[in-house]
Amino acid sequence: MMHGTWRGRDRDRPTRVTRGMVLRAGSYFRPYWREGLIIMATLGVAAPLALAPALLVRSVIDDAILGGDLRLLLVLAGAMIVAPTASGLLSVLQTRFSAQVAERIVFDLRSGLYAHLQSLSLRFFTAAKTGEVMSRLSNDVTNINRVITQTMMQSLMQAFILVSAVAVMFAMDWRLALLSLSVLPFAVASSRRVGFRRYDLQKEAQVKLADLNAITQETLNISGFLLMKTFAKETFERLRFERKATEVMDVQIRTSMLGRWFRVVLQILEAIGPALVYLYGGYLVIQGDMSLGTLVAFVALLVRLYQPMGQLANVNVEVMAALALFERIFEYLDIESDVAESPSAVALPTPARGHVAFHDVGFQYLPERWALRGITFAAEPGQLVALVGPTGAGKTTATYLVPRLYDATEGAVTIDGTDVRDLKIHSLRSQMGIVTQETYLFNASVRENLRYARAEATDAEVMDACRVAQFDDVVEDMPEGLDTVVGERGYRLSGGEKQRLAIARVLLKDPRILVMDEATSSLDSVTESRIQAAMGPLMEGRTTIAIAHRLSTVLAADQILVIDQGRLVETGTHAELIAEGGLYAELYEIQFKPQLTGAVAAPLGAGSPDA
């Protein structure tokens, strides 16, 4: 089992098909055994019907033509039309159920993988490439669908035809039947060798395709696109894309050539069989030991033998390719989240009081590297607690531990006296509201972005939240009001407008605990002061933890926590900490005091979200 951290080298580790992998892949078929029985029944009837024209040939030649029976000839000719027609109609029914089974299996795989990815912690997504995740969720699962519908189901039909053909051939003449089957071991041996090679090539192709998708996602999303343009890296990125696309093309060519050579071997074998039958069967006809109709019918049956044989030999190749795809999906499904819900977890009472406490908390992103160490403090309901400190001190990391985006490495974070690890995750996060500096918005309408917090909210409630967040005037000036689409990641809005929308969204959720990573940093002073005045009454009875980069936040705080190099070094009010003359007093002089005159803040502590 792999755990929360995803390492890129895991995708290249050598793997081979195991019995466990096959059984695990087969478990996705098990819920649809009823549909499988219907498919098998239709195949069981359709396969003999597919052989009927070849069997009728013998009677047409020996009994109707050579026997001079015109009436029998008409009947047999009609039967040669009816049999494949009935077989075709049954194949339509079989295709209907096989497509249904395939799509349901793909649905189960895709839904299960998506749900599992949702359960992973933030740690996984900080290490994995988004493009690779998307490739496994989309391309790999879609290719499995192709194998099920186009290869496996068709192969079942061919297997029925093959078994039926062999049985009929032995009934007609066991000597010719053995001669016809003599080439079968060579086909099986070839398919086995090609199958294992195809497994390796399929996995290599999917890895390289995932890398290509990652480049596409990174450079063609709005943020990556802006970065590429502003650094004039179009040529660099195009060449990088083309290099990776060339690698994908190369492995696809090798896969195609592998399949082509395999088909050449099968074609040679398919030519040898009829030649041997004609040679020996013709001798028997000349000697009078076999009728001409039997020989012609036998050769006609060979088509029904070698075509399925070729299909089934190719199945081994395709199934190996499918197992390579299953293996890639199972890699992700086997990753265990380091933030898992305990079976004995209890729900956080609604509404929560909102008492948040850190008890000697330590946290590591990497072994032996502490991002936080020995953090102890308590935030009472109704309090505004401000976290301040230099960039990289661990402020954002501390806020990540409250909603369990990560779990503490040591110590405990409690809400209303209960360790957050003992709470049901949904009940914990449903009573929390988080606003970060980097606001994420969906490429949807203003209304849809706001209702993401509470789907049942009315337009009146939506506008009330907008008014508190000083966003109502922006909505009123928009051409389509609440129906205005904000664009990819909200890029049709200014930074301040996005922050106000994000604040309105959290207010609409009406949480008991607010976590704000300087949520007003992109606002002008007048708008910020208006928002803080409006939010004052709303913060009563709530716990608010704010990462502060602005003077107004620290002055309003009931408690200021000064964090430096992952440790809590000072605690107190603004006046108390200024009097101490420690790190806070230094930060005040460098970062906060210049804001009184509108001076530009120095780099120390003015940072974006820290680690």
DSSP sequence for 9-61: GGGGS-----HHHHHHHHTTTGGGHHHHHHHHHHHHHHHHHHHHHHHHHHHII
Task: State how far the Cα of 480 lies from the Cα of 462, in Å rounded to an integer.
Answer: 15
Task: State how far the Cα of 375 lies from the Cα of 398, in Å rounded to an integer.
Answer: 9
Instruction: Return the pLDDT at 71.
Output: 87
Half-sphere exposure of 30 (CA within 13 A, CB side): 7
Q: Domains in the chain, please, with CATH?
A: 8-333 (1.20.1560.10), 346-431+513-524+540-611 (3.40.50.300), 437-510 (3.40.50.300)
- pLDDT under 70: residue ranges of the chain: 1-17, 150-154, 187-196, 198-199, 222-223, 226-227, 230, 259-262, 307, 309-318, 518-525, 527-538, 595-611
Name the residue among 543, 534, 501 with its Cα closest to residue 519: 501
| CB contact at 8 A, 263 and 307 | no
> Burial, 60: exposed, middle or buried (Cβ in 10 Å; 0-12, 13-18, 19+)?
buried
Instruction: Return the pLDDT at 395.
Output: 92
b vs e for 470-485, b when ≥16 Cβ sit within 10 Å of the residue's Cβ?
A: bbbebbeebeeebebb
Task: Provide φ and ψ at 585, rounded to 5°.
Answer: -60, -35
> 570 CB contacts (<8 Å, ≥6 apart)?
560, 561, 562, 577, 580, 582, 583, 584
Instruction: Return the pLDDT at 404.
Output: 92
| CB contact at 8 A, 33 and 104 | no
Task: State how far the Cα of 29 lies from the Cα of 34, in Å rounded to an integer.
Answer: 10
By three-state DSSP, how is residue 436 classified?
A: coil
Task: State how far the Cα of 90 lies from the Cα of 488, in Å rounded to an integer.
Answer: 49
Can you give the C-alpha Rg of the chain in angstroms?
Answer: 35
Provide the pairing of β-strand 543-547 with 384-388.
parallel
Residue 49 in tokens: 């019907």
Instruction: Return the pLDDT at 611.
Output: 38
Give the predicted TM-score (pTM) of the model. Answer: 0.71
> 230 CB contacts (<8 Å, ≥6 apart)?
none
Task: State how far the Cα of 63 lies from the Cα of 317, in Å rounded to an integer.
Answer: 43
> 294 CB contacts (<8 Å, ≥6 apart)?
58, 62, 172, 173
